[in-house]
Structure 1
């Protein structure tokens, strides 16, 4: 193996890598005919972002796709982007950028190895089965070399797996932890079985919220695959624009992305839509993995009490139970999720900074931050809605 050379190539579009070869690295498990574990690193999802111009020229997300070949075989790929800002990442480094530039440095552009606009944990160093170790090392070395050769300030690998975080730390990258709220399916037979695990007060509160939400004067539809029609995307685009303008100023995804979703991604999607008087008034967009349901976007044109909780959280839990999914990831932030059965978990990222002095300062900051995140998770978990287990006898 030592005499064989790994070649790293950099591409300006994921389309330059054949879809079958990309997916052999990103989701080899689909060979059995099932779903990918991670729908966001599939060739079709990343291509939809490009083809809809949600990433690319003028967006601040310029594709620098990495591919690693061993002899004539593609053994690893990575969704890498050159970034001119820190929007759409959900692992925040704005303070790092401000500090570096106040000291006279140039923080942007930087490299971001991530799925754009997607705070969902998954493999980022995508390797063909059997090439995990050398493939990960080749991709990290290639990304760092690319940053160094172009005089870029830093490389950030966000929402990677814990295994990748450990491997990256062993290669000299700086690990960072954050937290999200996830719902775990403990083999519940139905939603009531899940509620039975909660304290009486929390159980009653959820039942009250669900009754209030479902009394909004309309009907709720759960749609996936061919059940999803263009009219649903027309409505959801309005919802998404409203939420995006309030949260980010400018929505990240273009209208064309939802056309791409209808054509290429609808089998990966669960839409939960609320209809009243013949009009779509609210909706939640989820992506379906092999074991996980990923909540992504919500929006509405009418405000109804608790409808947000019903569409985003409770219907997602019901879908996961009905389809044997292990987990629901409800996206970034939101301590209000705790009372609804979503508990805090650790998420991981990796960072490389070119300037040695700045890197040492960040490393010190990250050590303190990891301790704070661990403490916060412990405290939040103690406030969880589930029944307290009696202490075991000494």
Structure 2
């Protein structure tokens, strides 16, 4: 049998004609294979997607994904979209809304001064710029805020962008951030030091559930491993504070204990080096502290002029009384001293081998003992601490 096919007629394939019989030419298996391939494609489409789970389904919900995006910057949001195809599909449908609701710098509403931006841009990015104090240093904004790299300051917690942070210190300067802690703080569990903060007392922090695992790793100091992320007001005084703390130890190592410390009482009573945690120390005690009233009154007047009502007078509480003492100085000059009760940390131990070698903070720098970070105000685990 012969089949004649008109090649010029492309409107209909030869299979459509009534004289075409595929089984007669042995092509029936080909047709069945095509049908099987179609069935396999349908089965593959109906197969369960391994990327569809509770997490990816939640990212497809608009309120959930908007709430999550408000805590992420653009870089983190882009990394989240690259985890799997299902997450990317869920995020792409809300792309316009997500880009407008990502995490923003706290200084973004502040208008930048174009005259000061160029003048202070170089030195404001320098981490050891000597200008202490938030009011004096300002917000640290020298230009437009960025959206791609935004995070919380490791010390104060304010959300700042990469343009409002300090220049990260060199790795060689990490050894200067250590602060020695007292014996009581070095013996308590590590989670106890992590939970405590300056706003909460010991009773409220001990009632909470102790941290462990990844939460504990994020709560301890990460200046040596993570990026040093500090806002301008917190980071400008890092070098001056480190130099001041080390100068105390250098001064104390020059006096021999055999001479009695020349009246300084090295490590005796309340005259030793206080714990690096300050008022949050486990063995903290209240002591009297004398402050010059001239500088303190200036701060009170400045702060009271912003918050107090017009009827109240800040000068009424500046006269001599129980807390304010008048002291006659040289030349008959009368000065006022403000006496306050403040919490001071317990004295830290001093070791004989360090005194003989003229060194200090050797155990903390080498990582053998637990210490306190003077940069981010977090605990630095020692060798015996399991994190």
Normalised TM-score (structure 2): 0.22
- For CA contacts below 8 A with separation 6 or more, give which structure has more relative contact order: 1
More strand by share: 1
Normalised TM-score (structure 1): 0.22
When Rg is computed on C-alpha atoms for both structures, the one with the higher figure is: 2
